[in-house]
């Protein structure tokens, strides 16, 4: 029996109902990816998680089970406002993608490619957003100051982990 059938049978045996399933086999890496969204009649995700570990061993799976009621934190890094970011934010706002996206928009004050007004508009449109304007910086300041961005992202991640009790502040 294959992975998809075994996972489906496992969920049925644990009184779960599959509401969405997607699979992908990558021929370049020879890896198989599977995402299954299911509802549990019992709501006992801990027990399901423990039991699934046994199923995963013969397939050498790397796997995770997440309760979709709990919003996942997501890091999105983009160099400009485009259709991919729009799509993710649309899904978040419509409730089809349960994520929490704290945002930081960095903008060079002297950027000739992306005017600062666009950054201000983007920051106003994003919930939970902070705007950092780098005075005197042009469009490519990121290349010289990438450490600044990494430090800011690390600070957000540390604060998030501390708030959730995963790490000390």
* Averaged pLDDT, 94-101: 79
Q: Does residue 65 fall inside a structural domain?
A: no
Integer Cα distance of 165 and 92 in angstroms = 25
Arithmetic mean of pLDDT over the chain: 82
Q: Structurally, how many domains does the chain consist of?
A: 2
Return the structure tokens found at 35: 């995402």
The beta strands (E) that lie in the chain are given as 16-26, 31-40, 72-73, 99-100, 103-108, 129-134
Express as a percent the part of the chain with pLDDT over 70.
89
**Which residue range(s) make up the domain with 116?**
72-163
Is the predicted pLDDT of residue 11 greater than 90, yes or no? yes
30: CATH: 3.30.70.260
- Residues 31, 103 within the same domain: no
**Mind listing the pLDDT tens digit for each residue in 16-55?**
999 999 999 988 888 999 999 999 888 778 889 899 999 9
Query: Which residue stretches of 2-145 are H helix?
Result: 3-13, 45-56, 83-94, 116-125, 141-144
- Residues 46, 96 within the same domain: no
- Residues 52, 122 within the same domain: no
What's the pTM?
Answer: 0.51
In degrees, rounded to 5, the angle at the alpha carbon of residue 101 between the alpha carbons of residues 68 and 156 is 115
Return the structure tokens found at 123: 């920051």
User: What pLDDT, on the 0 to 100 scale, is given for residue 169?
Assistant: 45
């Amino acid at each position: 029996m294959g992975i998809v059938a075994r996972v489906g049978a496992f969920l049925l045996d644990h009184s779960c109902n599959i509401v969405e399933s997607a699979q992908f086999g990558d021929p370049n890496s020879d890896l198989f990816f599977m995402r299954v969204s299911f509802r549990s009649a019992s709501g006992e995700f801990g027990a399901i998680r423990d039991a699934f570990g046994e199923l995963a061993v013969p397939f050498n799976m790397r796997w995770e089970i997440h309760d979709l009621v709990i919003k996942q934190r997501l890091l999105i890094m983009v160099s400009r406002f485009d259709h991919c970011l729009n799509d993710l934010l649309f899904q978040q706002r419509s409730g089809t993608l349960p994520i929490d996206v704290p945002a930081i928009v960095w903008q060079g004050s002297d950027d000739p490619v992306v005017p600062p007004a666009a950054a201000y508009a983007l920051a106003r449109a994003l919930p939970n957003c902070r705007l950092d304007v780098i005075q005197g910086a042009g469009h490519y300041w990121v290349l010289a100051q990438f450490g600044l961005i990494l430090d800011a992202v690390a600070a957000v991640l540390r604060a998030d982990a501390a708030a959730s009790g995963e790490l000390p502040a």
